[in-house]
Structure 1
Amino acid sequence: MEERSIQIVTRSAKQTEEIGRLLGGLAEPGDLYLLVGELGAGKTTLARGIARGLGIEGYLTSPTFTLVNEYEGRLPFYHIDLYRLEGLGEVMDLGFEEYLSGRGVTAIEWPEKAEGLLPESYLLISLDAPSVNRRRIDFRAEGARYEELMDQLARRLKS
């Protein structure tokens, strides 16, 4: 299967959130988005946009200390931050597998902490902050569902 990827450069937090909103609007039950990037790269901003695309309003926060934030929208949205966890045991203690097998959409920050527990199919989203407001967002599809999602996202970005 050919690897499918897209790179987008945003010039503000608002643009980064808008990319997330487009993605959330295309989300289907069971979707898994892995958010990779250094602190301050825009992972939470993108996740906030995904939530908006799912019809979730109000204030959304980073789950750095709560580990998981759950929201109800068009689909349930689970925003998970594994940054503070040490080892697979702590990840499993979250009920991690339940979030992945649910009817909602799951976005995971610091997914490398769950290596070995992740399914083979997901959308990998790598964020980089080359300057204060600028973000480079690389999307890579792993699996047929996410290749289709990338095609849909590319069409939305062109329109």
Structure 2
Amino acid sequence: MRPGTIAERHLVLPTAADTTALGRDIGTRLAPGDLVVLAGPLGAGKTCLAAGVGEGLGVEGPVTSPTFVIAREHPPLPAALGGRGVVLVHVDAYRLGVGTAASPDPREVAAQLDDLDLDTDLTRAAVVIEWGEGVAEHLAAEHLLVRLDRSGPDERREAHLHGPARLVGP
């Protein structure tokens, strides 16, 4: 597919390990300047997917929810240890009110995200934003949106990817 092509992909992810594996696959495709927006209800697997992205990028330390600090930076491991040289900035917009019943105006949340200078981070890092749908897309000319959901009696996860074909994958 040629650069700039938008693609979509739907996957069923029976286990948390499958969600992590999807994140790992996405992480292997990311470069500085890439924005990944994660959406879905509580427990859908956003942080699990972000942890996989960190593995795919080869970053230091475990990638865990940055809920209480809002944003966490993960530097790359040395190349000899699997690092790809790309910093991961992992953001959780939930505390900005996105996931609450009394969600604030999306423009207010976007302004709070702007205060984090994520557009500056995008010049040197891949940025993953949980709870970012509808408020973070303006940070980059293009982005990958991953909507996660749980459905059915077995609560299986499903992922819907929409964005640049090079990030969506096969």
Q: Is the 8 A contact 1:41 1:128 kept in 2?
A: yes
Q: Secondary structure at the match of 1:114?
A: coil
Structure 1 counterpart of 2:117 = 95
2:87 is aligned with what amino acid? P
| SS at 1:63 equivalent | coil
Shift of 1:57: 4.8
Provide the rounded CA distance (Å) in 2 between the counterparts of 1:108 and 1:58: 18
Q: How does 1:26-41 map to 2 (within 5 A)?
A: 26-41=29-44
Q: Give yes or no for the alignment of 1:80 onto 2:91.
A: yes
TM-score (norm 1): 0.82
Q: Which runs of 5+ in 1 are unaligned?
A: 155-159
From 106, 128, 131, the counterpart of 2:127: 106
| Counterpart Cα distance in 2 of 1:23 and 1:115 | 19
CA change 1:125–1:18 in 2 (3 A) is same
2:167 is equivalent to residue 149 of structure 1: yes
In 2, are the aligned partners of 1:83 and 1:113 still within 8 Å (CA)?
no
2:136 paired with 1:125? no
Please, what is the CA RMSD of the aligned residues?
A: 2.1
Specify the code of the residue in structure 1 equivalent to 2:70. Answer: L
Q: Deviations over 1:68-106 (max 9, x none)?
A: 011012210010111111523322221232123x22111
Stretches of structure 2 lacking an aligned partner (at least 5 in a row): 77-83, 98-107
Q: Please give the alpha-carbon distance, in whole angstroms, between the structure 2 residues aligned to 1:37 and 1:116.
A: 16
> SS of 2:89's equivalent?
strand
TM-score, with structure 2 as normaliser: 0.77
Question: Kindly tell me: are residues 116 and 34 of structure 1, through their superposed partners in 2, closer, same or farther at Cα, counting changes over 3 Å?
Answer: closer
Report the count of equivalent residues.
Answer: 147
- Mapped contact 1:12–1:133 kept (Cα < 8 A): no
Q: Which residue of 1 aligns with 2:158?
A: 136
| CA–CA separation in structure 2 for the residues paired with 1:115 and 1:20 | 19
Write the distance in 1 (CA, Å) between the matches of 2:132 and 2:113: 10
Write the letter of the residue equivalent to 2:147. S
